[in-house]
Structure formats: C-alpha cells, structure tokens
C-alpha cells in the first residue's frame, strides 16, 4: 500500500503547506491518540520539538488533537529526538512525538512518532494512522468531562542530560580536553554543551543562539565548516556537529578533518569488539556505507549487514537480530545499549571514550580504513518521479553493467525531500564520476521533459 503522509522519517514538508498544516497536525493528534487509546484509563503523550518557528503552530495543533480524544499531553519544549524517544519509555507514556524536520532548513517541519517502547512506529502502524487521518475520527471526540489536559515538563532537559552522561564510561573524564560543539541552533543547544561541561570538558559552543529561523543555517552536521575552523583556531582536541534535532553527528579531529558515520561505526564497533561489548558479530548499516568499512570489518572477523536507506530499517534489523551498533554514513549512529534511535551526542561520547582509552589524538584513531572513492549527487525534481522514465531506467541498467566487478551503484528517491540521489562507488574515481555524470544528465533530461 502506498504511503500518503509518512515517509522514511515521519511526516515532513514545508511548514504551513500540505501536509504540514495545522489541520493535518490536528488530525494526526486525533488519529494517533485514538490508535494508542486501548482502554478506559487516562492515556498520555509526550511532545518535544526543535527550535524552528513553525514548531509552536504544530505543537498547539497536535496538543489540541490529542486532548480532544482524551489524552493528557506533556510538553517538553526544545529537546533532541533521542531524548523524546527515551522519555516516552521512562515516563511510561503511550506515545511520543517529535516536531522536527531534522537537518532541513527552517521552512520545513515534520512529525515523528514513537511507540510506548520508545521506538519509531512500524510501517504498518503508520499506515493505520494514515487511514484514520483521511477517513475521519471526529466521531471519536470525547465528552467535555473527558477532555485531556496539557502541562509543561520543566525538568525534561535535566533528565536527558543525566541519561546522556550515564552513557560515558565510569572512571573516565573529559578533564583537560577542549571540545567544540556545534548545535545547529537546534534542539540540543542547551543540553549538549551542558553534558560536555559537566563531564569536565572545556566547551566552545557554536550554533547555540536559535531565533526560529536559523536552525541548520550554515552550521551543524550538514555545514560543519565553521566547526572545523573553530577546532583549529582554538587548538581543540576535536569538534562535534549535531543536526537540528540532534540524532545525527559528524566529528572533526584536532586538525579540522571530518570523520563521518562510517568511521565512527568502525571505531566504536572495533573498540566494543575488543572489549567484549559488541553484539551480533558485526555492524548494521545501509546501502550507502562505504565498501571500505565492509572490508575493514571483515578483517576483524566481523560482518557488515546492509539494509534499505533509513535509520529505521537499520534499527529494525538490529532489534530482530541482536546487534547493538549500527547507523548511517551521514551520521545517524544507533547504539542500542543506550538509545532506541540515533543519538548524535551519545555517539560523540562513545567516540570520546575510544579516544580516552587509547590516549591518542582523534586523528590517530579515528580513521580505521581508507574509504573507496564514492560520489553522491542529488537532483531536485517537481511532479512525476523521473526514475519512472524508460530512458532513465535504460541508463541505470547500462551503468550497472559497466560496474560489475568494479563498484556499486545506488539510485533512489529520497524519503524526506523531492530529490533523486545517485551514488556510485569504486576503486577508479574518474570512472565512477563518469558514471554519475551520465545518470545525472539523463535524470535532469527526464525532469525537463516532465516540466
């Protein structure tokens, strides 16, 4: 069954335009609230958000929807996505909601839902909620005496700060370390610097002045250049850049060189393997992860399991098969011993733990393998999906034939934006760049014909 509202990471779109309108948010609250109301007791939902200005609008509409079907609402204000997931479970709520468009600009927003166990909802449950959104739940409105109530949870940030600190190994400290932290003017702008400071670090904060419009603007994990410069200029030990909802991270070594999610998984996975902490016999990643990571893990006697694109699919495989390290090259790192979803700050803390254990700079321990040349291009489109074009299909088939034994090709439609993503990987950089150029040219031609 096709999905009308939910993508790979919840509902997302331009704020105040379909589907991110107050009306849809209201109906999401009503539908999800009714779905998770299973008996006569009073049910609860916890709502967090990032710092984009449209969060106020979406939060109010969701709260109205939930209270209209009899749910009590806990409002947390700005809080990282993994914190909302964790609090959903620890506060024994029936549902958790994060209002965020992650790494997108402020013009976009989104709604992510978590079940009472703190995990993202399955495709099946999201489809059931979609059906309720479209088919109407107005007849399920409760009597005036049964309406829910809303209240602010003032200590939500403090709860997450303590939980995050608790993931850092006992007996270790960040004393004497200088760390740059870029919070993308997003959800972690208060909690992330506080965690690092309370663990003993000297903290140089960036992206901690949100105004509702500057989230992810030339800062954070998708624009880490300022963080890298700050590391070098301040003589810091390393830098950390989170995205708008802090479930993604990229890290810089002391030289200002970036370390991506593949290298973080290699570093943490290998260290946990040597420490007897790694479960599942390997690491779970997506089709985007570099072949160099796969070869490195094989050399350690470990497996790299690949899933579809999307951290939800990584997590589903981890849960089903007993893995505790997984993630995406983009920086969604899932360490399931500590979190039910990607947590950029926790991943950074585990990276710091590896650095402390080796007593070496990050540049010496943060690049476990030499990545194969990999080229990724994105093409924005409007209207008809250009991957349905027969000429595009033929071009992709020809590219796959040329790459047999020489590399990997992945062409897909983004689950969060109207973009086609083309990734080619292989040992010969010039060759893979030619493959990418050919496919991008054909996709752009198809887009022009469809316009």
> Distance between the two ends of the chain, CA-based, in angstroms?
27
Q: Which residue in this structure is represented by tokens 């609860």?
A: 44
Cα torsion angle, 437, 438, 439, 441, sign: positive
Active-site residue, from 31, 102, 336, 389: 102
Backbone angles phi, psi at 423, to 5 degrees: -125, 130
Q: What is the DSSP string of 317-355?
A: HHHHHT--EEE-TTS-EEETTT-SS--HHHHHHHHHHHH
Judged on CB neighbours under 10 Å (0-12, 13-18, 19+), 413 is: middle
**CA 129, CA 69: separation in Å to the nearest integer?**
14
Cα torsion angle, 313, 316, 318, 320, sign: negative
374, 297 Cβ separation under 8 angstroms: no
- Three-state secondary-structure class, residue 374: strand
Cα torsion angle, 341, 346, 348, 354, sign: negative
Q: Is 122 a catalytic residue?
A: no
Q: How far, in Å, are 100, 118, 148, 342 from residue 90 at the CA level?
A: 21, 9, 21, 17
Which residues are identified as catalytic?
102
């Amino acid at each position: 069954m096709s999905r009308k509202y939910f993508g790979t990471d919840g509902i997302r779109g331009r704020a105040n335009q379909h589907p991110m309108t107050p009306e849809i948010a209201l109906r999401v609250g009503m539908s999800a609230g009714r779905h998770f109301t299973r008996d006569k007791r009073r049910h609860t939902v916890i709502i967090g958000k990032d710092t984009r200005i449209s969060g106020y609008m979406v939060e109010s509409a969701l709260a109205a929807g939930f209270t209209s079907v009899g749910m009590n609402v806990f409002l947390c204000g700005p809080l990282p996505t993994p914190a909302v997931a964790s609090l959903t479970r620890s506060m024994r709520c029936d549902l958790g909601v994060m209002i965020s468009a992650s790494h997108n600009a402020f013009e976009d927003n989104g709604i992510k839902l978590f079940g009472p166990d703190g995990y993202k909802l399955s495709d099946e449950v999201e489809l059931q909620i979609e059906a309720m959104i479209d088919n109407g739940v107005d007849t399920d409105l409760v009597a005036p005496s049964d309406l829910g109530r809303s209240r602010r949870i003032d200590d939500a940030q403090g709860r997450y700060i303590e939980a995050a600190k608790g993931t850092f190994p006992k007996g270790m400290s960040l004393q004497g370390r200088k760390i740059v932290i870029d919070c993308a003017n997003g959800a972690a702008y208060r909690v992330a610097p506080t965690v690092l400071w309370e663990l003993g670090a000297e903290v140089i904060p960036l992206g901690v002045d949100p105004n509702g419009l500057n989230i992810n603007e030339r800062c954070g994990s998708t624009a880490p250049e300022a963080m890298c410069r700050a590391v070098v200029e301040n003589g810091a030990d390393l830098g950390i850049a989170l995205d708008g909802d802090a479930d993604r991270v990229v890290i810089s070594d002391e030289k200002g060189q970036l370390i991506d999610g593949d290298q973080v998984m290699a570093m943490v996975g290998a260290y946990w393997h040597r420490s007897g902490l790694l479960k599942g016999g390997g690491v779970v990643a997506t089709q985007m992860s570099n072949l160099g990571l796969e070869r490195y893990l094989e050399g350690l006697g470990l497996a790299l399991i690949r899933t579809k694109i999307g951290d939800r699919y990584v997590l589903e495989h981890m849960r089903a098969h007993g893995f505790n390290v997984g993630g995406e090259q983009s920086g969604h790192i899932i360490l399931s011993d500590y979190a039910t979803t990607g947590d950029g700050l926790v991943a950074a803390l585990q990276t710091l733990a590896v650095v402390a254990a080796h007593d070496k700079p990050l540049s010496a321990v943060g690049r476990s393998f030499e990545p194969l040349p990999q080229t990724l291009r994105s093409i924005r489109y409007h209207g008809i999906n250009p991957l349905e074009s027969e000429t595009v299909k033929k071009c992709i088939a020809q590219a796959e034939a040329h790459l047999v034994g020489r590399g990997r090709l992945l062409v897909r439609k983004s689950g969060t934006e109207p973009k086609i993503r083309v990734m080619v990987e292989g040992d010969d950089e010039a060759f893979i760049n030619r493959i990418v150029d050919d496919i991008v040219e054909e996709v752009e031609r198809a887009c022009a014909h469809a316009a």
